[in-house]
Structure 1
């Protein structure tokens, strides 16, 4: 059985279609046959309902002493269904032959109407959980492939966006073990491989596609040719009619003309595309939430309308793209609308003209009819599909399902000769939300697509090793978001800086402070969740790392994979003795960028063992107002800057733990050229040392120093000792293997280590 309480055989579907098209004035004998087919159709539907109930009873534990259904009961019902279906097959053949005869006898005096067109639309969206989608995708592919076989020439497969989200499976695809499957391994490419293998033909752009920035998005959808192989990119275009991709340098080269055949513009960006199904040209238009810039890393993408609440303007922008298609003679149009809120998509349905079907996205709203079997605990929010009337009073169907490959949306609908949907043609036993959960022992409509299974197995293999290696625990979201760490102190920045300081003190207990550049923090550790049905940034939930049942990882676990994801550069930890004046110059450099604190800067610091304040309105180089060295008890042990003036001996030595990249002049950090006494915890060999990469003697002692054994307490052996990944891992393993890290993220106004005095109401409390 399929995953519905009742389902209808392909023969019954044909019967309904034939019955709808037969001439009411035909032979009385044929009328009797039609009546028999109609009755048998109802009888088969009732038997399927009984079969579903009996199957569920057979698989469920009995709460009382009532007898369980037997295998004989199931066999009896299946046999009767098969017998009735065979009888109906012959009768349908007679009716079809009669209809063909009537068509041939039609005179040429009346202009013939375009025959009714049947479309099977298979759809999904929001495959944005950390790991849940990976567990469901194979069953999803089996169902999709089976349904496509039933309508091999009349099927369209679409997504309304959020096809992936940065997380374990996203980064697992970047492991080189995936090269043979993906051509060239890369973050997020496994998710695209799933969609390619399942034959998706177009997608709206969601917000999560951009979570890692426009450059990462481009590398995921565009093809790439390398020495080891070729990554094909997406085999479908991404569409959005209210976004202008051209201003973004990472995406401009992927923009193509609108309204082209989707298969010819794979891996490209446009407002619209066309898919030809059984000779019928179907227009596909995309649209994305206008709140995009506030909930993801949209880069330089132009977003319309400027007022995200102006639905009339949004509808007008989408309408322009629709009109371009209808102007070409296309009379069937589907809108892929990733609006994050179903009420917005409902409002668009009544404002647009020429749109027949809207596939919603971003809200995870489960629409299902009364015949649909749902995942345990799920409740449909409304029926499937929803019916509205457009601005020109034509019927519009709106569909949506929950995400993470939990459901496959299936809409089988007829269009009339004018290209309008016929709502009455929708059979609830055929259309609806199909759950991918193997509940009650039911089978699926087909077998998992082999390529989907191969990619899923490879990703699970990577995850089982990396994400299953648990290093520590946190009960809070560790904020490594680009927009946060590059403008303010964050709890993840503090954690990393403290880990670097702790590791350096294993080698030299006199190290006082640490500094990490925010540009090297590449990801958060945790989950950013925009609750379904919301678009407001204030509604965003910051949650600890999610569980991964495939690896035994539970909520709050921090794994090897998490650490490698956030500290991808894995720079070496170094100890550099600095004069107080040199330390101040370095701190001034970290906050010297224009509009610092409001505009992202990769050189913005995250610090340990010190606190400082800065005034962004002062000239660059004169912004630090207070700087203090802090002891382990949080007390001030050395006042370095007061009221913008260096105090005490400017040549007194302060030992700083930082990264070799910075100490070597990366990001233009003004470290002294001669760093006498510098210690490279991972050794000096092999590192790049500007301006002379052939001379790695960083401390000028005349030898290439070996790694420092004391830097490796060997609590986390999966990392390279003396480097930043290992520093964070060893620190978590030492302090937070059992007791979770629990310092929540704070607003900039409440930050203590880095105090931005440009924030209204912010007081300088460095010495308090």
Structure 2
């Protein structure tokens, strides 16, 4: 028979091998193939041999006319239309996680009346969980992705930072031993700057990452060490039933990157969904998806680290040809009622897993069956971070579109010994044991003892002035004064210190009498933030900085934004009922804010300083354009982190960073050396509830000798005269303070 025509016939049927039809395929697809697929498949299997025999006879008698050719071709074409593209019909076993954040070691949950003590989290248990889900799956294509925040500063990551150059970070080693297929990029990857992230991806420094990492909206300059290490997308290729199958994976990173991390000269495209710039983010992602579909890729997964699952929901209906979005950064614990969660306080589910959307309209639906005929779905999945859960989504695809969601395989899988998980030996030996030893050494190294209660609880340090927050701000100012001469600055002019609440972490509590270890200082101040100084800050710059600090407050002492400032050398009163400052993700102030009521410059934290601003007296009591003092802070905040637009706009020529002095080391040194290892109440004067407070707080007014009270009998000096008086007064206060410290030493 004519082999060329037979090949043509098979192509008409879109069959890439004879094994693509028949019993072998039926066994592979029987549990997920509908009768509407089986009927034409059987029809074609029976019809094809008959047609080929007829063709053979006609060829032998040489009576195959042009009409016969056409009829045969038409019949085969019709049959091919009935037969599904079997080579593309397969099940995806998507395993996903995000926000691991260097939670490399197991945690232990105490036993209760109903639940015994158990271990959870940690990478050695997580590796066992991944293996279990891979082995339990009968699906065709396993895909393991992480959607960003693959490490986080702190004691466990410090173990990696202290490794010799060229050695792989423990977090990277864990991902490699998990055998991830693709990694996404979040915001915490940039907390140490691009150089550390480049070392994470490429420990050998040869320009090749240990796995593909993707983000489509990062702007990476040619000079960056990350150039070539992060791609907009990648294609994962695996052989399924003897046929090569491909899935495209696109990445996207939060456009808030510059305001919440330290990306250096790396920028982002797009903005939040509440801004016009969101269309740029959508078009950027879509352009990368289009590149994949142009290469014949008909199944696409988006690993998205947008910090808020509502951002990923906003992508539904705006993106074409995306099948799954893995949402990250918000720790949204999607689950169904029958999905077992960790028996921990606050461990509640957000319905449901997955979220299903009409890909054309963006409307959420209850099930695939609720979609109009012919409309493709878009599904969104998300899990909690810190290696507490592994998401497992099992999807049937037909002709490149999701046709069903398989249960009970789909859902979040908890990472706990409760379910019989044990640490996988390679992760135990290569990651868990060395990190545990390093952290143990930190725990055994004391820094000091506190005689007052201290805490780093998120809901407090981001809402009001606290003892611990004030202590940290004092330590940063002290470190800046100590290091000022080395960078050519005058320590006597560094009168104020600020620390953003977002940089104080891990909800720690210390009772009077507790020892503070070196581990604790890392745990509370985990980021690679270096002490910095902003020179010659004016009143006109100070006011909008403070407006930004209280812009997230919703009630007295209630906030949540990382931009809330803990202060040293200032006392600020605000009114939460007034208009808050509004700043776009790009750092433009669109509403000035009117919450700040008064600002008292109080370098000794004893409430006897000088009012700089007072609404009752008409606003500024100094020239807002004249330099008042040098400001101590951390480089993250100095560069405009947390969307401090005013600080971002200050010239780099006025910003100085103390090399090698992190805010963690500043706190450690302040307690160990300046406070002689003991934290007393007198060391944190007016530290709790006073340095920043709502006007309704029942705190007496400051009564400093330099207070400008106004009135007919009060002479208000000219700004230059007043600043001279102020400088002399503050300089004397600074000298007295340093003399007292020298006596202690």
1:141·1:449 contact (CA, 8 Å) conserved in 2?
Answer: no
Q: Does 1:305 align with 2:270?
A: yes
Partner of 1:161, secondary structure, is: coil
Q: Which of 220, 223, 233 matches 2:203?
A: 223
Q: Which of 27, 30, 35 matches 1:18?
A: 30
Task: Identify which range, 355-364 or 14-23, moves more after superposition.
Answer: 14-23
1:145·1:447 contact (CA, 8 Å) conserved in 2?
Answer: no
Between the aligned partners of 1:555 and 1:103, the Cα distance in structure 2 is 86
Deviation at 1:318, TM superposition (A): 1.1
Deviation at 1:554, TM superposition (A): 12
Deviation at 1:382, TM superposition (A): 1.0
Q: Which of 121, 125, 128 matches 2:101?
A: 128
1:357·1:398 contact (CA, 8 Å) conserved in 2?
Answer: yes
2:181·2:211 contact (CA, 8 Å) conserved in 1?
Answer: yes
2:557 is aligned to: none
Taking structure 1 as reference, are residues 734 and 106 closer, same or farther at Cα in structure 2, changes over 3 Å only? farther
After TM superposition, list the pairs within 5 Å mapping 1:177-326 onto structure 2. 184=167, 189-224=169-204, 234-246=209-221, 249=223, 252-256=224-228, 268-278=229-239, 279-305=244-270, 309-310=275-276, 311-326=278-293
Taking structure 1 as reference, are residues 589 and 388 closer, same or farther at Cα in structure 2, changes over 3 Å only? closer
Between the aligned partners of 2:306 and 2:527, the Cα distance in structure 1 is 33
Q: CA RMSD in A?
A: 5.8
Q: Give unmatched runs, 5+ long, in structure 2.
A: 1-25, 53-75, 108-120, 362-374, 462-468, 484-489, 546-566, 571-600, 610-621, 624-651, 655-663, 695-700, 705-718, 731-745
Q: Which of 424, 428, 445 matches 1:448?
A: 424
Could you list the per-position Cα deviations for residues 174-214 of structure 1 after superposition, in whole angstroms to 9, with x for gaps in the alignment? 234xx5xx9526xxx22122111111122221111112222
1:615 is aligned to: none
Between the aligned partners of 1:160 and 1:747, the Cα distance in structure 2 is 37
Deviation at 1:394, TM superposition (A): 1.2
Deviation at 1:274, TM superposition (A): 0.9
Between the aligned partners of 1:545 and 1:460, the Cα distance in structure 2 is 18
Could you list the per-position Cα deviations for residues 103-126 of structure 1 after superposition, in whole angstroms to 9, with x for gaps in the alignment? 996978233523311111110011
Deviation at 1:218, TM superposition (A): 2.4
Between the aligned partners of 1:183 and 1:358, the Cα distance in structure 2 is 34
Could you list the per-position Cα deviations for residues 663-695 of structure 1 after superposition, in whole angstroms to 9, with x for gaps in the alignment? xxxx999xxxxxxxxxxxxxxxxxxxxxxxxxx
After TM superposition, list the pairs within 5 Å mapping 1:126-165 onto structure 2. 126-128=99-101, 135-150=121-136, 154-165=141-152
2:103·2:122 contact (CA, 8 Å) conserved in 1?
Answer: no
TM normalised by structure 2 equals 0.55
Q: Does 1:729 align with 2:712?
A: no
Partner of 1:224, secondary structure, is: coil
Q: Which of 66, 86, 96 matches 1:114?
A: 86
Q: Which of 333, 339, 343 matches 1:372?
A: 339
Q: Does 1:346 align with 2:313?
A: yes
1:390 is aligned to: 359
Taking structure 1 as reference, are residues 502 and 124 closer, same or farther at Cα in structure 2, changes over 3 Å only? closer
Could you list the per-position Cα deviations for residues 490-518 of structure 1 after superposition, in whole angstroms to 9, with x for gaps in the alignment? 85352255589999xxxxxxxxx967999
Deviation at 1:168, TM superposition (A): 1.5
Q: Give unmatched runs, 5+ long, in structure 1.
A: 1-13, 28-95, 226-230, 257-267, 482-488, 504-512, 529-539, 572-586, 600-607, 612-627, 637-642, 645-666, 670-718, 753-759
TM normalised by structure 1 equals 0.53
1:360·1:398 contact (CA, 8 Å) conserved in 2?
Answer: yes
Between the aligned partners of 1:318 and 1:543, the Cα distance in structure 2 is 33
Partner of 2:316, secondary structure, is: helix
2:334·2:383 contact (CA, 8 Å) conserved in 1?
Answer: yes
After TM superposition, list the pairs within 5 Å mapping 1:295-694 onto structure 2. 295-305=260-270, 309-310=275-276, 311-376=278-343, 377=345, 378-391=347-360, 393-416=375-398, 418-422=399-403, 424=404, 426-439=405-418, 442-444=419-421, 448=424, 450-451=426-427, 453-472=429-448, 473=450, 475=454, 492=472, 494-495=474-475, 498=478, 541=502, 543=504, 545-547=506-508, 558-561=516-519, 591=536
Partner of 1:142, secondary structure, is: helix
Deviation at 1:355, TM superposition (A): 0.3
Between the aligned partners of 1:359 and 1:567, the Cα distance in structure 2 is 27
Paired residues, number: 500
Taking structure 1 as reference, are residues 119 and 217 closer, same or farther at Cα in structure 2, changes over 3 Å only? same
Between the aligned partners of 1:234 and 1:554, the Cα distance in structure 2 is 48
Between the aligned partners of 1:253 and 1:588, the Cα distance in structure 2 is 27
